Amino acid sequence: MNPTIILNVDDHAAGRYARGRLLRSAGYIVHDAASGLEALSKIEALSPALVLLDVNMPDISGLEVCRRIKTATARRIAVLQLSASAITTEDRVGGLDNGADGYLIEPVDPEVLLATVRALLRIRKAETDLELANSALAEANTKLTELNLSLTHSNEDLQRFAYLASHDLQEPLKTMSSYATLVQRRYRGKLDTQADEFLTHIQQGAIRMSDLIRGLLGYAEARQQHAAEWKRVNTEDVIAIALDNLERSVAKSRAVVTYGQLPAIRGDELQLTQLFQNIVSNSIKYQRPGEPPRIAINATEDADRLILFSVTDNGIGIAPAHHKQIFAPFRRLHGHEVPGSGIGLATCQRIVEGHGGKIWVESLGEGAGTTFWFSLPGA
């Protein structure tokens, strides 16, 4: 630890000498100054931790020295003023108002002087530590802001890439798929026995890939939007559009979807349609064999002006161990026997979180049905 430097300022040699000796014996490095101006130049050169300052000096007063120390130096220097007993209360108040950290009146008991010096040095150290911690915090904050910005940029780049890649991949895939269909139509039964089967595999692969690309495109498009772009959305209209898009699978599975009057929400209508569509379509897809899907949509308003929706089905259920995983992109609990890309719920999560809400699932497990919960801003 650096030894503590104290500047001992007094125009009277006797007092200066006595105080210097006392402080040195307590282990401090003591420098003397016999006038205000000398004190100021030594403060500049020595950067003391504490200045012991006699108020009455011939050139400039201790009060003025104190004021200049406090305004001129960026470093924290503790100032302990000393004066004769004849000084008025106003002068003492003036000293403290000018920035002195402590004030003692002569004659001062040596023990009291040392204890006061120690207390002021402790305060100064605490203040310096606090300043250091504050500037480290400010630095960390600046770094965090920079990191955040670069993360936002790379996120946007990734999003652009996912969008372009999935968008541009669709064209060549369409070409491959239509030529496979053409070959199948024109040459069915005319090639060797396995050729028909191979062509069917090509077509099935193309359909799966197209599903994946469409899913990826939906995921990339479900980016966070600014709340300023949101509109009032009638929830029942959005569900009606979603059910219209799912018309064939609803009819085929004989699914019954029920909902009463639902509160309006705020957001991006296309994304919100996609959200309800993905969840209802899963409820249909993951139905219990031989049991038509029963799907109920409900909503309640919670304290933060968010609407909490639930979509409950009577399907195959999801084991609790998988409740978190199913929201990760491309995470599926089923093989190719059930069509899907594993990106539907990841997209739902993106849409909900982009609207400032949360999504989670509840299910007691196999055969117990599933409820998806999600919150969205109310209109």
Name the residues that contact ligand ADP, by CB under 6 A.
278, 282-283, 285-286, 313, 315-316, 318, 326, 331-334, 340-346, 370
How many C-beta atoms lie closer than 10 Å to residue 96's C-beta?
15
The distance of closest approach from Cβ of residue 237 to ligand ADP in the complex, given in angstroms and rounded to an integer, is 23
The distance of closest approach from Cβ of residue 205 to ligand ADP in the complex, given in angstroms and rounded to an integer, is 17
Closer CB to ligand ADP, 48 or 340, in the complex: 340
Closer CB to ligand ADP, 344 or 357, in the complex: 344
Closer CB to ligand ADP, 62 or 215, in the complex: 215
Closer CB to ligand ADP, 219 or 230, in the complex: 219
The distance of closest approach from Cβ of residue 250 to ligand ADP in the complex, given in angstroms and rounded to an integer, is 15
Residue 299, CA atoms < 13 Å, CB-side half-sphere:
22
The distance of closest approach from Cβ of residue 324 to ligand ADP in the complex, given in angstroms and rounded to an integer, is 11
The distance of closest approach from Cβ of residue 357 to ligand ADP in the complex, given in angstroms and rounded to an integer, is 18
The distance of closest approach from Cβ of residue 275 to ligand ADP in the complex, given in angstroms and rounded to an integer, is 11
Q: Rounded distance, CA 15 to CA 289, Å?
A: 101
Closer CB to ligand ADP, 92 or 285, in the complex: 285
| CA-based nearest residue to 69, from 87, 90, 91, 95 | 95
Closer CB to ligand ADP, 283 or 375, in the complex: 283
Closer CB to ligand ADP, 61 or 283, in the complex: 283
Strand 370-377 relative to strand 359-362, pairing: antiparallel
Closer CB to ligand ADP, 94 or 218, in the complex: 218
Closer CB to ligand ADP, 116 or 314, in the complex: 314
Residue nearest to ligand ADP (CB): 340
| Beta-ladder partners of 51 | 7, 79
The distance of closest approach from Cβ of residue 153 to ligand ADP in the complex, given in angstroms and rounded to an integer, is 28
The distance of closest approach from Cβ of residue 328 to ligand ADP in the complex, given in angstroms and rounded to an integer, is 9
The distance of closest approach from Cβ of residue 248 to ligand ADP in the complex, given in angstroms and rounded to an integer, is 17
